[in-house]
Amino acid sequence: MGALLRWKLDAPAVTPERGAALGAEAWRRLRRNRVAWWSLMFLALVGLTSLLAPLLPLPSPAALELSAEPTPPAGPWTSIGNHGFQREYWPLSSVDERLVDARVALFGDWQTGPWLGTDSKGRDLLSRIVWGSRTSIAVALLAMLTSLVIGVTWGAFAGFVGGRTDRVMMRIVDVLYSLPFIFIVIFLITILQGWKDLLETRLGLNREAVFYLSIGAVYWLTMARVVRGQVLSLRHAEFVDAARQMGASTARILFVHIVPNVFGIIIVYLTLSIPSVMLFESFLTFLGLGIEAPRVSWGLLAVDGADTIHPLGIDWWLLVWPAVAMGTTLLALNILGDGLRDALDPKSALAAKGAAQT
């Protein structure tokens, strides 16, 4: 997926004359794009649900029911809910603990029924999908944040300074590009596992954080390229010259004047790479390098679901629902990303006509 994304960003004509800020104009254009707008709304809903997961009257995503067999979905019309809630989670943050307190105060031990079915350990699939979305979204956002920090700094600096520094910096990016991407992540994860003591006790990072950082550490390359390209075109813009003449420092010019102007393209890039990060997470989980039990992520659910594919009795819901959750979210992100790109660059939207809505 990495290569696909790289191309997607390198190729399209996202070369506005001046930095494409996410201004009111672009916002208006985005709202006019019906499909993209609905995607945004859908994503907001997904985000909100995952944020408020502890508050929702869902069964515990972790409580094991050992001898249970997977049960097929029973829609809300057959069993709206029951009073079997067990307060069992992995270690939660204090905010989440409060939310669970609120949930218990609000709903007591009432919980929703197995609307989407249960897995082989009797855990409710709907609950696991909702809680899994938290991990997947966190992976995506944190990895993106890491790549944002490294990539923007690297790219903006290279683009702004130019000359030999620029060339050397971009060559380093090229070299890193030609390393197999998966390979690096596997290495980072295994190396960092070996240095657990240092990371956990001294730096306070847990395995999840290490996981996010490892992904982020390989995703910054494209970001650096994109930002550099933009900065290069802005380097001699009037407002930059003006700032320079007023005696602003390089860092100030870079981060106060230039970076905000390339923010639009950064947003586009982020929206488009989140799906690939999410897919990557599932891919790593498939290889046994993913998130740690009892936590759950969409990738883990998809892998568990894929394991049920054999003719000895197909628990279809274990594959279909996680795939649907993942598919729709990624779909929406893709549509939104395209929509944003068109909104920021009306020229390409005009040229591609209907393609923009895909």
Cβ 77 to another protein shortest distance, Å: 28
- Three-state SS for 163-197 is HHHHHHHHHHHHHHHCCCHHHHHHHHHHHHHHCHH
Instruction: Identify residues 209-238 at the interface with another protein (CB under 8 A).
Output: 229
Report the distance separating Cα 254 and Cα 243, nearest Å. Answer: 10
| Binding residues among 257-276 for another protein as defined by CB under 8 A | 275
Which residue, 246 or 312, has its beta carbon nearer to another protein?
312
310 is a contact residue toward another protein (CB under 8 A): yes
Beta carbon nearer to another protein, 259 or 302 = 302
| 139 within 8 A of 297, measured Cβ to Cβ | yes
Helix or strand holding residue 81 (H, E) = strand 81-82
Helix 125-161, helix 316-344: angle, nearest 10? 30
Find the part of the chain contacting another protein (CB under 8 A) among 104-112, 135-143, 263-271, 324-332: 324-332
Residue of 131, 181, 212, 220 interacting with another protein (CB under 8 A): 181
Of the candidate residues 17, 24, 67, 83, the single one contacting another protein (CB under 8 A): 67
Interface with another protein (CB under 8 A), residue total 78
Q: Of 120-159, which residues contact another protein (CB under 8 A)?
A: 120-121
* Region of 92-100, 149-157, 184-192, 260-268 interacting with another protein (CB under 8 A): 184-192
Applying CB under 8 A, among 44, 242, 256, 355 the residue interacting with another protein is 355
CB of 95 to another protein, least distance (A): 21
Chain center to CA of 144: 7
Backbone angles phi, psi at 118, to 5 degrees: -125, 165
Query: Reduced to 3 states, what is the DSSP secondary structure of residue 111?
Result: strand
Interatomic CA distance for residues 317 and 73, integer angstroms: 7
Looking at the Cβ atoms of 28 and 171, the one nearer to another protein is 171
Of 83, 105, 194, 204, the one binding another protein (CB under 8 A) is 194
**203 forms part of the interface with another protein (CB under 8 A):** no
Of the pair 240, 296, the CB lying nearest another protein is at 296
Q: Does 306 bind another protein (CB under 8 A)?
A: yes
CB 151: neighbour CB atoms within 10 A?
A: 25
Tokens of 306: 């894929």
Q: Give the span between the Cα atoms of 189 and 193, in whole angstroms.
A: 6
**Candidate residues 21, 100, 170, 237; the one interacting with another protein per rule CB under 8 A:** 170
List the structure tokens of 18.
């001046």
Q: Rule CB under 8 A: is residue 305 a binding residue for another protein? A: yes
Q: Is 3 exposed, middle or buried (0-12, 13-18, 19+ CB in 10 A)?
A: exposed
Judged by CB under 8 A, does residue 92 bind another protein? no
Nearer to another protein among residue 56 and residue 269 (C-beta): 269
Judged by CB under 8 A, which of 198, 287, 346, 347 binds another protein?
A: 287
By CB under 8 A, which span of 72-80, 125-133, 246-254, 331-339 interacts with another protein?
A: 331-339
Neighbours of 256 (CB within 10 A): 12
Report DSSP state, residue 69: P
Residue nearer to another protein on the CB measure, 64 or 102: 64
Give the SS3 label for residue 116: coil
Q: Which residues inside 11-30 make contact with another protein, applying CB under 8 A?
A: 11, 13
User: Quick count: other Cβ atoms within 10 Å of Cβ 126?
Assistant: 21
**Span interacting with another protein, options 96-104, 147-155, 168-176, 259-267, rule CB under 8 A:** 168-176
CA dist., res. 357 & res. 343, Å (int): 11
Q: Which of 171, 198, 203, 256 binds another protein (CB under 8 A)?
A: 171
> Contact with another protein (CB under 8 A): which of 137, 158, 335, 344?
335
Structure tokens at 136: 């997947």
Q: Sign of torsion, CA 22 26 31 36?
A: negative
